[in-house]
């Protein structure tokens, strides 16, 4: 609630003399004035009344014009005060849609809506050094000629995945589309268990991805049981590949059966078909060494069980930038990289530099301490509790009852659905507000703070809030409660 657009800073422009220049201003305002309804104020008038707005002027002008057009269309002409008020509210919404840091008190570590894996400082250092200037992105410094993009990253990935070769594209969905297009070009069918036709995130459904890539889906088995025989019976003259999808975001218990990679790989080899396994998260470190976590399939392990290729995300458990990794047989990877479509999916220098730095941390054995995702998974409950106590003591003067609660944090990002980590929450019961009202105020604050309401209390899980953000958190709580 504190984050109103009238809080001025140096970035706020002065009406009429802003940095975007008078030309644009005049160009934007003339037509509107020409058509303006007699009783509506001009664009310029509204802009003057708005005062300082922390957004680029062309965006502000556009919002003002839209609001004026809406008023004109509605027939009932609002008074000037009301119009300015509505416009200000539309501008505030626009400002909140701008990409910005938020404090994540949800306890979901790889939160897809909140940008998944936060990047470590070492990663950002490489990222900004490479991004700020020119780089040898596609230049071979040894020969002085054009070089291959991502060669170093590919080598590092292959080593970490214990694979013959590896490469990287924009995300795991892209990796899957590339694989499907390639292997189902001549023989259109892809064999997949009915138990694995899953939806991963918002709008990411395996059957839709298959269709989008031109492949024909051939379902085998049932929702709860798919045996090797089901796959064997399903293979026909039109089968181009076998696909196994890791049920990353849900689990099935009870009367269930799925076919292990080893058996499926033997069948695939006998039928001379590629077996691709989509892992989703793809842990490079054994997740079960972290208290509370189950085992998440590792790329090297799945390849050693006989899969020809694996695909996984760069920004889930790996803890790096958004990317889709493909690892496995060298012959298959070089064929995939020759696909014209590969060009449309390749990563840019920023992603590659961030991924390079991330992978080097793994190779140097520093990942656990340097990558935020792994750090948040490992931090102890005692450590969280002592932070909570300190925060609580600093908030004792606010109109708020605060208790230190015990919560469960989740890995998130569609991974390890059965796992959860013991965590510590700040449970807030405001004296004059409902918990949901406090949640709204914090969400609309600067920086936005997100938590969850449970049992009538607003809760902030400290596992996903960085210790360096504790000061900001205190400020945000104070601002929301005054």
Ligand X SMILES: *Cc1c(COP(=O)(O)O)cnc(C)c1O
Residues that bind ligand X (CB under 6 A): 171-173, 200, 204, 245-246, 248, 278, 280, 313, 324, 414
The CB-of-206 to ligand X minimum distance in angstroms stands at 8
The CB-of-419 to ligand X minimum distance in angstroms stands at 14
The CB-of-245 to ligand X minimum distance in angstroms stands at 5
The CB-of-84 to ligand X minimum distance in angstroms stands at 42
Report the residue number, 247 or 478, with the smaller CB distance to ligand X: 247
Report the residue number, 13 or 312, with the smaller CB distance to ligand X: 312
The CB-of-436 to ligand X minimum distance in angstroms stands at 30
Neighbour tally for 5: CB within 10 Å = 19
Reduced 3-state DSSP string for the chain:
CCCCCCCCCCCCCCCCCCCCCHHHHHHHHHHHHHHCCCCCCCHHHHHHHHCCCCCCHHHHHHHHHHHHHHHHHHCCCCCHHHHHHHHHHHHHHHHHCCCCCCEECCCEEEEHHHCECCCCHHHHHHHHHHHHCCCCCCEECCCCEECCCCHHHHHHHHHHCCCCEEEEECCHHHHHHHHHHHHCCCCCEEEEEHHHCCECCCCCEHHHHHHHCCCEEEEECCCCECCHHHHHHHCCCCEEEEEEECCCCCCCCCCCECCCHHHHHHHHHHCCCCEEEEEECCCCCCHHHCCCCCCCCCHHHHHHCCCCEEEEECCCCCCCCCCEEEEECHHHHHHHHHCCCHHHHCCCHHHHHHHHHHHHHHHCCCHHHHCHHHHHHHCCHHHHHHHHHHHHHHCCCCCEEEEEEEEEEEEECCECCCCCEEEEEEEEEECCCCHHHHHHHHHCCCCCEECEEECCEEEEEHHHCCHHHHHHHHHHHHHHHC
- Contact criterion met (CB below 8 Å) for 226 and 220: yes
Shortest-Cβ-distance residue relative to ligand X: 280
Using N-to-C axis directions, what is the helix angle for 57-74 and 43-50, rounded to 10°?
A: 120
Report the residue number, 173 or 367, with the smaller CB distance to ligand X: 173
Report the residue number, 177 or 333, with the smaller CB distance to ligand X: 177
The CB-of-326 to ligand X minimum distance in angstroms stands at 12
Range 89-128 burial, b when 16+ CB lie within 10 A, else e: ebbbebbeeeeeebbbbbbbbbbbebebbbbbebbeebbe
Report the residue number, 60 or 245, with the smaller CB distance to ligand X: 245
Report the residue number, 174 or 384, with the smaller CB distance to ligand X: 174
Report the residue number, 226 or 469, with the smaller CB distance to ligand X: 226
CA atoms within 13 A on the CB side of 187: 16
The CB-of-200 to ligand X minimum distance in angstroms stands at 4
The CB-of-268 to ligand X minimum distance in angstroms stands at 19
The CB-of-309 to ligand X minimum distance in angstroms stands at 13
Report the residue number, 196 or 230, with the smaller CB distance to ligand X: 196
The CB-of-283 to ligand X minimum distance in angstroms stands at 12
Report the residue number, 54 or 297, with the smaller CB distance to ligand X: 297
The CB-of-459 to ligand X minimum distance in angstroms stands at 26
Report the residue number, 273 or 345, with the smaller CB distance to ligand X: 345
- CA 447 to the chain's CA centroid: 19
Report the residue number, 218 or 246, with the smaller CB distance to ligand X: 246
């Amino acid at each position: 609630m504190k984050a109103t657009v009238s809080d001025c800073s140096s970035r706020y422009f002065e009406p009429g003399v802003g940095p975007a220049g008078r030309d644009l201003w005049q160009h934007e305002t003339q037509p509107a004035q020409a058509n303006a309804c007699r009783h509506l104020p001009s664009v310029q008038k509204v802009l003057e009344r708005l005062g300082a707005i922390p957004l680029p002027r062309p965006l502000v002008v556009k919002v003002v014009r839209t609001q004026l057009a809406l008023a004109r269309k509605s027939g009932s002409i609002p008074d000037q005060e009301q119009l300015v008020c509505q416009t200000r509210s539309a501008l505030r919404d626009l400002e909140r849609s701008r990409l910005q840091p938020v404090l994540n008190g949800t306890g979901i570590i790889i939160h897809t809506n909140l940008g998944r894996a936060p990047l470590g400082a070492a990663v950002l250092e490489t990222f900004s050094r490479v991004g700020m200037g020119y780089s040898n992105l596609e230049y071979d410094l040894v020969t002085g000629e054009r070089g291959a993009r991502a060669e170093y990253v590919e080598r590092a990935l292959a080593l970490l995945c214990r694979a013959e070769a590896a490469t990287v594209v924009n995300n795991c969905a892209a990796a899957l589309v590339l694989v499907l297009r390639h292997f189902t070009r001549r023989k259109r069918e892809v064999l997949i268990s009915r138990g694995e036709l899953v939806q991963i995130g918002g709008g990411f459904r395996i059957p839709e991805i298959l269709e989008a890539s031109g492949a024909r889906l051939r379902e085998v088995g049932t929702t709860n049981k798919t045996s090797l025989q089901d796959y064997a019976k399903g293979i026909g003259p039109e089968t181009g590949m076998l696909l196994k999808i890791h049920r990353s975001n849900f689990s099935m218990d009870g009367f269930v059966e799925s076919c292990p990679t080893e058996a499926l790989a033997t069948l695939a080899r006998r039928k001379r078909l590629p077996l691709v396994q989509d892992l989703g998260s793809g842990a490079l470190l054994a997740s079960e060494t972290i208290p509370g976590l189950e085992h998440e399939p590792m790329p090297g392990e799945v390849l050693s069980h006989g899969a020809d290729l694996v695909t996984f995300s760069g920004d889930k458990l790996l803890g790096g930038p958004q990317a889709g990794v493909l690892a496995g047989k060298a012959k298959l990877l070089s064929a995939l990289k020759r696909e014209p479509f590969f060009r449309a999916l390749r990563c840019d220098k920023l992603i590659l530099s961030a991924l390079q730095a991330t992978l080097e941390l793994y190779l140097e054995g520093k990942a656990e301490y340097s990558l935020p995702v792994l750090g948040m998974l490992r931090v102890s409950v005692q450590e969280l509790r002592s932070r909570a106590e300190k925060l609580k003591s600093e908030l004792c003067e606010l109109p708020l009852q605060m208790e230190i609660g015990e919560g469960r944090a989740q890995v998130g990002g569609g991974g390890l659905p059965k796992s959860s980590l013991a965590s510590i929450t700040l449970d807030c019961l405001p004296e004059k507000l409902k918990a949901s009202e406090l949640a709204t105020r914090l969400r609309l604050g600067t920086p936005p703070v997100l938590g969850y309401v449970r049992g009538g209390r607003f809760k902030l899980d400290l596992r996903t809030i960085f210790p360096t953000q504790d000061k900001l958190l205190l400020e945000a709580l104070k601002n929301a409660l005054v």
